[in-house]
Chain A
Amino acid sequence: MSLQVTDLRVYYRTLAGDVKALDGATFSIADKEIMGLAGESGCGKSTLGNSLIRLDGRMKYIGGSVNLDGAELPIWDNAGMNEFRFRDVSVIPQYAMSAMNPTRKIGKMTEELLESRGESYRQIRPELLRRVDLVGLDRDVLKRYPIELSGGMKQRMVMVISTLLDPSLLIADEVTSALDVSTQRAVAETLVSFRDRGFVKSMMVITHDISILYQTADTILIMYAGKLAEKAATKTIIDGCRHPYTKLLISSLPEVGIRYANKKLKGIPGSPPSLLKPPTGCRFRDRCPLAFDKCVEEPPFVEIATDHSVACWKVTGTDA
């Protein structure tokens, strides 16, 4: 068991009160597993990703624990986490295009980064060059400034730097959203190859694009309004999902081959609830076509089949 997250709660501090962006998440990621994390904007998926590597000033750790390879991650302790960052937990940030220092050449920046972690650049350089080749970049990129690279090239360079110390967990936050389809495919396939080559042990891919997850992820976790809705193997989520939210989310995806004239797709009516004062009970209740009286109570996130967990009264039965 590589990563085990138990009842993690992270809120945002605002003048109006706490925004309960992540309200009790329990899940695990196995070794060699790529877990996709999907949901609408504002459902807490980036909060979950960020909380595993760095809580910024507005984020407040409320409770829960994160266990990586048997060691407890002190995610509430910014300085204490330094020991784990980059080496054990690494991140490809949402805006990888602007993640690199524009005033340094890429090689120099990588050198400084490694030295700040007490690693020797000279020892790691051969491996760095090998990986630069692997992602299809010219070795000369190390002598260039970030501005000289295109978006896709920067994205791949950031991926190489992030995984240089072979982290145990890699968090990839919306890495493909800003890219063109052809670059998107190259980047997504590189992510999978990093796992296959053992550069990273397990991976969490955060995106709102479920079709990308279908191509890359082994399991998919669907979040809604700060809570977990459903987790299962990719194939199960796409072909046999049980939670009404997952069903609506997947049925709203336009695919090549579906035309408005032949098949009219529907969105999900309404919008996610405010997390400042989240509704009690099932948070999807107001938009759910199946909602019934039991939904005023909060549904537990239970395993209904092997590796398939759902939080919905309609699926688990009301006696659960």
Chain B
Amino acid sequence: MDKIKSIEELRKLREQAQAFLKTRQGEAKVKVYISMGTVGIAAGARDVLLAILDELQKRNFTDVQIIERGSMGLDVEEPVVAVERDGIRVYYGHVTPEMAREIVASHVINGQIVSDWVIAKE
């Protein structure tokens, strides 16, 4: 897709986005938590978040809510991403942008937990 350069183009994007939103009702099916305390940010949480957004867009998946959690007290595991789907919350540690893309594809969209990277479940 071409880069958005003006407010006008942003306005057009909205129409496109609205079509996707129509399919979503009430609470989002999947919640993605990302830890953005000082340690998370220094470890690369921002790039992980952007990779998640990019992958969601590529796959046209909007039934998701992204929530910032601050530090979850798991500093040695930062960046930490948690995915909540079907009532289970799964934590992934040392997430890189590449890992984040795979987590989006397998877990967020298809419900397949990427077990190799899981650090906790609740």
- Indicate, yes or no, whether A interacts with B: no
